[in-house]
Structures are given as C-alpha cells and as structure tokens.
Amino acid sequence: MWIKTNDNVKVISGEDRGTTGKVLRVNRKARKLVVEGVNRVYKHVRRSQKNPQGGRLSKEMPIRFSNVQLVCGGCGAATRVGVRYLDNGAKERYCKKCGAGNGLMSPPSARYAKKP
C-alpha cells in the first residue's frame, strides 16, 4: 500500500465516487484509510459535561484502500503508483502515467545504489 497520510486521493468506487480529498489517517493492518469529507456518517451523542450540546455529530469513517487512487502532483490525474530505486539507492513512489516522482519512501541505501 503506497498511500501515506496527507496524500491527495480520488475515490474510484462507492457512494462518494469521484470525490477528491486528503488522507487523514492510514491503518495498514486493516488496509483502510480515512479521507477528508468521504464516507461521512452521523453519530448520535447524548448530552454530557464533555459535550453539553448533544445531538448529531458528522464524522468520517474508514474506507478500503483499494477504493482510492493517488492523485499525481505532476499531471493532476488519479493514477496507479509504482516504486523505483533512484541512482543513490533511495526508494521513490512514481506516477505510472507521467513518470513524475511522488516522494521518497526510504532513505538512500548502498545496497540499491547504482555502481559507477
């Protein structure tokens, strides 16, 4: 799963199809993520000292990571994500459409560095 917190993603299936938003949280074990403004539900809250008003709170719920695609910073389209090693051995995510880099995933490693 190559999606991280603060990435822009586009929902490709479900009730909120076509919506673009920022990733707020990622749960890698459950393979789910929370996207800003997507999959909103109402939670009914009783009046208490913590919440004196009570009523209905609207909050985002997690969705499967397979239902979103990363929005490329270079071309601005929702694309698949690939992984490649740079010349210095750093691991990078890249856009499969335009080939632009979308951020490093790991620091440079001598093992994967290209030999001169």
Going from the N-terminus, what domains does the chain have, and what CATH number goes with each? Answer: 1-71 (2.30.30.30), 80-116 (no CATH)
- Residue 48's CB: how many other CB atoms inside 10 A? 9
- Mean pLDDT over each residue of the chain, to the nearest integer: 92
Share of the chain above pLDDT 70, in %: 100
pLDDT in tens, 48-57: 998 898 899 8
- The segments of the chain whose pLDDT lies below 50 read none
In Å, how far are 8, 35, 82, 97 from 23, measured between CA atoms?
A: 6, 4, 19, 21
Supply the pLDDT for residue 73: 87
Give CA–CA dist 46/39, Å, rounded.
Answer: 23
